[in-house]
Structure 1
Amino acid sequence: MSTAAPPQKAPPPRQRTGGRLSNGAFALLLTAPGLALFAAIIFYPLLSALFTGFFKQDLRLPGREFVGLDNFAHWLNGDLLTILEQTLIFTIGATLAPFTIGFALALALNTGLRGSGFLRGLFLFPWVIPGVVVSFLWMWIFNANYGVLNGVLVKAGLIEESVAWLGQPGTAMLAVIVTKTWASFPWMMVMLLAGLQTVPKELHEAASMDGAGSIRRFFAVTWPQIRGVASIVLLLEFIWNFQHFDTIYVLTGGGPAGTTETFATAVYQTAFKGFDIGRATALGGLWMLLLLLLVVVYLRITERKGDA
């Protein structure tokens, strides 16, 4: 007696894999145009500029000569520390001053005083003016012959004669910081005001019921809630001021006697006034390394804020 063999199941149809891209390959294909554009307009010029720092090259003459690390040594053994010191003076002053003013105004506007919407728009006015226009405006204010500041101070009896605010080493940096402060405090005010408006009112009410005064509520409730926003605002402004150019160049050009020279103006003066593109790019490379350190700090702070 023969038994029939059980029917064999047909094998499942084979899935066609040809012509299909993996998720990683598809993502790379989508980002390829952007990566190519990034390489063409940012990555290649950056590498080319850094490579130029190893050559002696004059903008007025053809060709260049390889000098190794001589251009970097010129700055490391020369004016680098002075330029760094002046850059830090400007950066710290032009960061803390507008932060203080912007924070005070944000606290005032957050109380809900009458006309706060109009005042908010009014305070934003300096921020929307182009930086070069702001610089020329304050150049007129600080002018030694017909400046508004000297006129007001002389009439008030605070000074006996006009002061060359932009022409004296003792006052030039202060004038530049005041100008940058006037242009920067509005955006700080807006960012800090946005942070203040996220603080729950229930926390303030609970602190008030516990007998906490306004100062104690600020340090116990308000500041812990907006500390992350304040840190990011300060660090961003610090990074921007560390590479700021237009205000300093228009007002003083790095003078008098180089007392307001920063990395930005020094690179410009070396490249387009001294025509030494090799030393200019070497200084720019050192400047970029310092900026990268600031960017790393910024990223670490934002990561901690995101994890909190």
Structure 2
Amino acid sequence: MSTVDTPGPRPRGVTAAGRLSDRTFAWLLVLPGLAMFAVIIVYPLVASLATGFFEQSLVKPGRRFTGLSNFADALKGDFWPVLWRTVEFTVGATALPFVLGLALALALNSGIKGGGLLRGLFLFPWVIPGVVVSFLWLWIFNANYGVLNGVLMRSGLMDTGISWLGRTDTAMLAVIVTKSWASFPWMMVMLLAGLQTVPKELHEAAAVDGAGAIRRFRNVTWPQIRGIAGIVVLLEFIWNFQHFDTIYVLTGGGPAGATRTFAVAVYDTAFKGFDLGHATALGALWMVLLLGAVAVYLRAEGKGAR
């Protein structure tokens, strides 16, 4: 008498035909990327944040658990002045290149003569490394032989040169101008790409109805490019909130802390003060503020889209 073998239960994620299910196959494709993300991003982030709960020096071995004392000390120190200067730099270095980039994008989109050549020339500041840009403007703002002072003095607008980077009332403005010069080209390109997707028929219809240039921009152009403009502003805001090289090369956070943002403060605390615990706590608070600002923006955009 013969017996018939009955198949056992199929392994989970395997179909009746013996093949992997779509869900299992998808996870197998995603897992290598998730593992790399965990090793490169998640683990270093968690490990660095944990340092904020310890007293740890860059020059002394070992560490001692201190709980929230590093965070409390960070809030008691110059946290709020540094926050204000970070916001000042971020807003200025985001708004100025956006306005300039939008104006140039509108001009290039209008079909002006030589638009292709101008577009290429305007991209020049974008392709220069940030440190090189900083040294270039360091020369322009120089109090003794800087180009800016030379032009202003030759035109009769002032009698003596100004130490743009050495005065507390002009240093932040100089840093913002430098960063804006380096970042307006990419904003211009992104906004120009958005402008070129606006149907010409909408402008022609608005012009027939008697709408002027400003009204056409407000009622036709801006609603069409609002989404890409929001992305551009958000990305530039994030980058500027954590920007370091331009500020450090031009002023090092000075004079008298007038340009000392979170990026400079964390660097100074960690690599000049050798206090890794305090620097990590300051960086964690910095990260929370940035995440909060981004969350508020995304929530506002979500409400505006509905």
* TM value normalised by structure 2: 0.91
Q: Which amino acid aligns with 2:88?
A: I
Question: CA separation in 1, counterparts of 2:92 and 2:302?
Answer: 27
TM-aligned CA deviation for residue 154 of structure 1: 1.3
Question: CA separation in 2, counterparts of 1:61 and 1:188?
Answer: 45
Question: Is the partner of 2:170 in helix, strand or coil?
Answer: helix
Structure 2 counterparts to residues 1-308 of structure 1, below 5 A: 17-18=10-11, 20-297=19-296, 299-300=298-299
Question: CA separation in 1, counterparts of 2:193 and 2:121?
Answer: 17
Question: CA separation in 2, counterparts of 1:190 and 1:297?
Answer: 26
TM-aligned CA deviation for residue 295 of structure 1: 3.6
What are the superposed Cα offsets for residues 235-287 of structure 1, whole Å, 9 maximum, x if unpaired? Answer: 11111111111100110111111110111110000000110000000001111
* C-alpha distance 15-117 of structure 1, shift in aligned 2 (>3 A): farther
Q: Which amino acid aligns with 1:79?
A: D
TM-aligned CA deviation for residue 120 of structure 1: 0.5
Question: Is the partner of 2:254 in helix, strand or coil?
Answer: coil
Question: CA separation in 2, counterparts of 1:87 and 1:267?
Answer: 12
Question: Is the partner of 1:169 in helix, strand or coil?
Answer: coil
TM-aligned CA deviation for residue 301 of structure 1: 6.7
Question: CA separation in 2, counterparts of 1:287 and 1:301?
Answer: 21
Q: Which amino acid aligns with 1:176?
A: V
Question: Is the partner of 1:256 in helix, strand or coil?
Answer: coil
CA contact (8 A) 1:232 1:301 kept: no
Moved more, 13-22 or 145-154: 13-22
Q: Which amino acid aligns with 1:268?
A: Y
Unaligned runs of 5+ residues in structure 2 are none
TM-aligned CA deviation for residue 297 of structure 1: 4.3
What are the superposed Cα offsets for residues 144-199 of structure 1, whole Å, 9 maximum, x if unpaired? Answer: 11111111111111121111111110110000000001001111111111111111
Question: Is the partner of 1:260 in helix, strand or coil?
Answer: coil
Q: Which amino acid aligns with 2:125?
A: P
* TM value normalised by structure 1: 0.90
Unaligned runs of 5+ residues in structure 1 are 1-10
Q: Which amino acid aligns with 2:68?
A: L
Q: Which amino acid aligns with 1:180?
A: K
Q: How many residues align?
A: 296
What are the superposed Cα offsets for residues 7-42 of structure 1, whole Å, 9 maximum, x if unpaired? Answer: xxxx9x979835654433332222222222211121
Q: Which amino acid aligns with 2:48?
A: A
Q: Which has the larger radius of gyration?
A: 1
Q: Give RMSD over aligned pairs.
A: 2.1
What are the superposed Cα offsets for residues 37-75 of structure 1, whole Å, 9 maximum, x if unpaired? Answer: 211121111111111001111111111111111110011
Question: CA separation in 1, counterparts of 2:257 and 2:187?
Answer: 30
* C-alpha distance 301-21 of structure 1, shift in aligned 2 (>3 A): farther
Question: CA separation in 2, counterparts of 1:68 and 1:272?
Answer: 22
Question: CA separation in 2, counterparts of 1:108 and 1:253?
Answer: 37
Q: Which amino acid aligns with 1:66?
A: F
Q: Which amino acid aligns with 1:104?
A: A
Moved more, 290-299 or 256-265: 290-299
Question: Is the partner of 1:56 in helix, strand or coil?
Answer: strand
